[in-house]
């Protein structure tokens, strides 16, 4: 059974074309062993009928706050108390705005205010709406209120546009929900009304220019990050790649947004949801990633090369599937070296501040230091991928940071970030990087 087995999940469906996917989502949640009840807004019923969801869940679907039969027993409060998790999918720009500002003008928004459940939402809207400053601010505000965003995805949209804003496919929503529970079993939901947030009288006043729910540490900075593996085609069905999951790069993107930065994430093929507030560019090969990096580099302040870029690619990609040669038992591939993306960015006439990554299996300091000098980087984060419980595919990681010593630029200084969850590690890395960035700025 999955982590969702026995969980009580209230599925909220709002008025987006992606509502048709919610039927599949309800079925998958049931298949995972969850108890599922559905609340639909009035607009959602224009896209999918309550009867469909009732048949899939085996439970009556609630659609109205002013239902005399249900409200005889204060039905919306009963639902709010019943739910362990609230998942709104699709979550339109409108529902995000209303939730962010505490509206309670229909059943779904009312029970979200009345619940202590853990709350999740899967954004679904036109790419221009997703990138609008109001939506970005609402997503940050929702994060500060304890809401967990699942998605959105990028790609073709029903309106004909291409970009971020698509609702994730139901299978990925279920996987992301399980992953969120695994990574943070105490993920907060709505705050109980009798438990106001603690106040620290010694804490500095918030920056009024910072987005809601963020620190202002990286405010005003545009941070570009590469993440995940690249795939180098052999023929139409095969490719060369590596074990990178992209989690460290995505954790950096999420942490950078939370610290107030504008973030562009250039991602190889991974099965991870785009962090809220992040602009994502999807690529496949190293040459694709280089092209995206060269478009972004002139406009960013920091460039973080966290991707596990393939060192080599095929000299010639076969137009047809290569057949097994039974009489030889061997296949020779002619490989050529891929360009070094972060070294290319660092070699620009006016380069951004550059932070590289080095995944090593031995002699960490020697190899990391060599890469930093050879590529002209400002800092490099090195990790031993053979260490147990960290590295590729793991939830945790540990890093040693290397940069030139302030006392003697010919020597390297180091700073150890011990093992912790990748999201916490990402924030610690960015805070240290900010100190180094500030140290090299003219005074």
Structure tokens of 216? 């202002």
Task: List the catalytic residue out of 112, 119, 159, 300.
Answer: 159
Residue 27: count of CB within 10 angstroms of its CB: 16
Reduced to 3 DSSP states, what percent helix, strand and coil does the chain have, rounded to the nearest 5?
Answer: 35, 25, 40
CA distance 258 to 140: 8
Q: Indicate the burial class of 276 (C-beta count within 10 angstroms; 0-12, 13-18, 19 or more).
A: buried
Residue 400: count of CB within 10 angstroms of its CB: 19
Task: Establish whether 321 is an annotated binding residue.
Answer: yes
Task: Establish whether 158 is an annotated binding residue.
Answer: no
Task: Establish whether 9 is an annotated binding residue.
Answer: no
Residue 47's φ and ψ, nearest 5 degrees, are: -105, -30
Task: Establish whether 189 is an annotated binding residue.
Answer: no
Task: Establish whether 47 is an annotated binding residue.
Answer: no
Task: Establish whether 185 is an annotated binding residue.
Answer: no
Task: Establish whether 375 is an annotated binding residue.
Answer: yes
Task: Establish whether 339 is an annotated binding residue.
Answer: yes
CA distance 118 to 10: 10
Task: Establish whether 173 is an annotated binding residue.
Answer: no
Task: Establish whether 311 is an annotated binding residue.
Answer: yes
Residue 420: count of CB within 10 angstroms of its CB: 17
Task: Establish whether 392 is an annotated binding residue.
Answer: no
Find residue 280's DSSP bridge partners: 265
Task: Establish whether 342 is an annotated binding residue.
Answer: yes
SS3 of 52, please?
A: helix
CA distance 226 to 228: 7
Structure tokens of 235? 């023929």
Active site residue 300: no
Q: Which residues are annotated as a binding site for CTP?
A: 305-307, 311, 321, 339-342, 357, 371, 375
Residues catalogued as catalytic: 159
Q: Which residues are annotated as a binding site?
A: 305-307, 311, 321, 339-342, 357, 371, 375
């Amino acid at each position: 059974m999955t982590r969702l087995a026995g969980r009580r999940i209230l599925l909220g469906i709002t008025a987006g074309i992606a509502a048709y996917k919610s039927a599949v989502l309800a079925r998958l949640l049931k298949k995972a062993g969850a108890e599922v009840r559905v609340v639909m807004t009035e607009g959602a019923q224009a896209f999918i009928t309550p009867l469909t969801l009732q048949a899939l869940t085996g439970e009556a679907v609630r659609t109205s706050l002013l239902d005399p039969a249900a409200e005889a027993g204060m039905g919306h409060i009963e639902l709010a108390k019943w739910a362990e998790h609230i998942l709104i999918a699709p979550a339109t720009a409108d529902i995000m705005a209303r939730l962010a500002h505490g509206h309670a003008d229909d059943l779904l928004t009312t029970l979200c205010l009345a619940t202590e459940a853990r709350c999740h939402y899967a954004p679904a809207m036109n790419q221009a709406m997703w990138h609008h400053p109001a939506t970005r601010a609402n997503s940050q505000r929702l994060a500060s209120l304890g809401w967990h965003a699942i998605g959105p995805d990028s790609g073709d949209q029903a309106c004909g546009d291409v970009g971020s804003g698509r609702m994730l496919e139901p299978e990925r929503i279920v996987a992301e929900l399980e992953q969120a529970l695994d990574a943070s079993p105490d993920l907060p939901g709505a705050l109980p009304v009798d438990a106001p947030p603690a106040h620290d009288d010694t804490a500095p006043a918030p920056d009024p220019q910072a987005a809601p729910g963020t620190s202002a540490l990286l405010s005003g900075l545009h941070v570009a990050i590469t993440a995940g593996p690249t795939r180098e085609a052999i023929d139409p069905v095969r490719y060369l790649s590596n074990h990178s999951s992209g989690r460290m790069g995505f954790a950096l993107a999420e942490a950078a947004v939370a610290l107030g930065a504008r973030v562009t994430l250039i991602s190889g093929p991974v099965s991870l949801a785009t962090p809220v507030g992040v602009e994502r560019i999807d690529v496949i090969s190293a040459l694709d990633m280089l092209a995206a990096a060269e478009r972004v580099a002139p406009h960013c302040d920091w460039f973080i090369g966290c991707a596990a870029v393939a060192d080599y690619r095929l000299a010639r990609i076969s137009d047809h599937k290569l057949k097994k040669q039974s009489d030889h038992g061997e296949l020779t591939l002619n490989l050529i070296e891929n360009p070094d993306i972060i070294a290319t960015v660092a070699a620009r006439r006016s380069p951004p501040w550059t932070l590289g990554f080095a995944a090593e299996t031995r002699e960490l300091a020697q190899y990391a230091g060599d890469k930093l000098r050879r590529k002209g980087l400002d800092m490099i984060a090195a990790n031993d991928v053979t260490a147990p419980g960290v590295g590729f595919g793991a939830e945790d990681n540990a890093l040693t940071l290397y940069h030139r010593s302030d006392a003697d630029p010919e020597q390297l200084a180091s700073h150890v970030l011990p093992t912790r969850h990748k999201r916490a590690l990402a924030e610690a890395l960015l805070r240290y990087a900010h100190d180094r960035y500030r140290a090299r700025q003219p005074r």
